[in-house]
Each structure stands twice: as structure tokens, then as C-alpha cells.
Amino acid sequence: MSDLLVGAAVDWSAWIRSSEAVAWLLLAIGLMFALPRTYRVRQRVGWLVAAVGLGMLIGDSVLSSTARSSAAVFWGLASIAVVGAVAAVTMTSAIYCAIWFAFSLLGVAALMCFQGAEFLGIATLVVYAGAIVVTLLFVLMLSQPRGDVVYDRLSWGDFPRVASPLLAIGMVAMLTAIFPAALAQGAASSKGLPSGDSVARLGAYLFTRHLIGVELAGTLLLAALVGAVAITMFGRESVGQEEGR
């Protein structure tokens, strides 16, 4: 991976003046305003600005691409993921956050399938769908409905609210600028891979090259399971003793 990135040189001084950089900046500013605080009006402005930025990015990439239809599909799926992620951090109601997170993962899984990683995409869906359902249940049982309380509605602190969108968007923007060249190299080196049933090959790879890692993870999960059972059993014992006294 690292040698791929070294090989990819980007002319940063030209990049900073391109329309792409402006789009990323708009996205960051929009996200900054969209993060929840007491005034909802500003949040709408933030969503609008972020949408304009995202639209610029998508338009730029689709129009400049040689394979327009596949670029359009990619950016359609990617914007599902991005819109879901932005909405997940900006919504004021906890349940909407969880739902948008699930929506974002749907986009990510679709992207993986689109790139040919069927198993990875659908496994993401299976694993995360169940996990988010559990999160959702905790949200439903523990939080206030509709974000009616202040601590659910405000994002934390003034400095992080400004710094985190800028930092995150900056990082993603730089990676996006670097990756096309790196990906071209990667694609060139992975030409010889056989196509076909990827699941069997993935399984063979996991259980030969990474056997110890898989076994370790399994042991860890087993330990967690036994620990959970032990905690509930000891907990009930102590309750019984208290009642006995």
C-alpha cells in the first residue's frame, strides 16, 4: 500500500486552485454549519451548502470521466453513503441518526458489490444490519424521543465542531486526490487475478495465510461469550443471597 502511495505524485499547488478543492471546501463548511446546535435555520443552510459541494464533486467527476455510465453508478452509490453519513452526524433525533447510519452502510455495501467484492458487501450488510438493530434498540430504550432534550441536540464543544469537519474533509479530499493514480497502479498489478467464485478463494486465504488471526479472534469471542454468561450467573447468585437475607 505504502509503495503505491509513494508512486503517486500529485501537483498540490494546482490542485488547491482547482474546482475540486472548492467543492471539498464547500462540503466542509456545509458540514460545519449542519452539525446540530440550537438554531435549526443554520443547519438547513449547512445542508444546502454541503449538497452544492457534493453536487460539484459528482458533476466534475462524472463529466470528466471516460466511462460515464459506470462513473455515474459509482457516484450515485457513493452519494448514498456520504449523504447517509452526513445525516447520521447532523440529525438531532437519535433514532434518525441510527437509521441514516444504516442507510449509509447500504450505500457502502452497494459500492463493494459494484467493485466486485460481493461477499464483503453482503457480509457487511448482514453484520452491520444486526448490529445497528441492537444499537437502535438501545437508542429506543435509553434516549428521549425526537431529540427534545438539549444534550441530545447539541454537538459537543465549539472547537471540535469547527475543527472536526475541516480535518475529516481535508483528509478525505487528499486521499481522493491521491488515489486515482494509486488505483491505476493497483489495477495494473492485479490484472492476473482469476475471476469466479470469490467466496471459496477468500475462505482458503483466510484459513491458510491468516489462520492464527482467525483462531485468535474466535477464541477472544468465545472468552467474551463465557464472560457474559459468568457475569449473569454471578449476578443472579448475589441477588438470590440478598433476597435470602
Partner 1 sequence: MTGWWLLVAVKVVIVAAGVMTAAAYLVLLERKLAAWVQDRIGPNRVGIPLTRIRLFGLGQPLADGLKFIFKEEFTPGHVDRWLYWVAPVAILTVSLAAFAVIPFGSVLPSSVGVEGEHPIQLVVAPGIHVGLLFVFAMGSIAVYGVILGGWASNNKYSFLGALRSSAQLIAYELPLGLGILGVVATAGTLDLQRIITTQAETGCWFVFTQPLGFVVLVIAAFAEAARLPFDLPECEQELVGGYHTEYAGMKLLLFLVSEFLHMITGAFLIVILFLGGWHFWGLTGSAEEVGWFRAILRVVVLLAKVFAVILFFQVVRWSWPRFRFDQLMSFCWRVLLPLGMVNLAAVAVFWEVFVSESWLPGGRLGAAIGGWLVLIVSGYLLGRARPVIADNRPAATLMPHDIDWQVP
Chain residues binding partner 1 by CB under 8 A are: 95, 99, 102, 109, 118-119, 122-123, 125-126, 129-130, 133-134, 136-137, 140, 146, 197-200, 236, 240
Q: Which is nearer to partner 1, 79 or 135 (CB)?
A: 135
Residue 195: CB minimum distance to partner 1, A: 11
Let me know the angle formed at the C-alpha of 122 by 120 and 123, rounded to the nearest 5 degrees.
Answer: 65
Residue 96: CB minimum distance to partner 1, A: 8
Residue 145: CB minimum distance to partner 1, A: 8
Q: Which is nearer to partner 1, 141 or 150 (CB)?
A: 141
Residue 197: CB minimum distance to partner 1, A: 5
Residue 97: CB minimum distance to partner 1, A: 13
Q: Which is nearer to partner 1, 209 or 236 (CB)?
A: 236
Q: Which is nearer to partner 1, 158 or 243 (CB)?
A: 243
Q: Which is nearer to partner 1, 3 or 243 (CB)?
A: 243
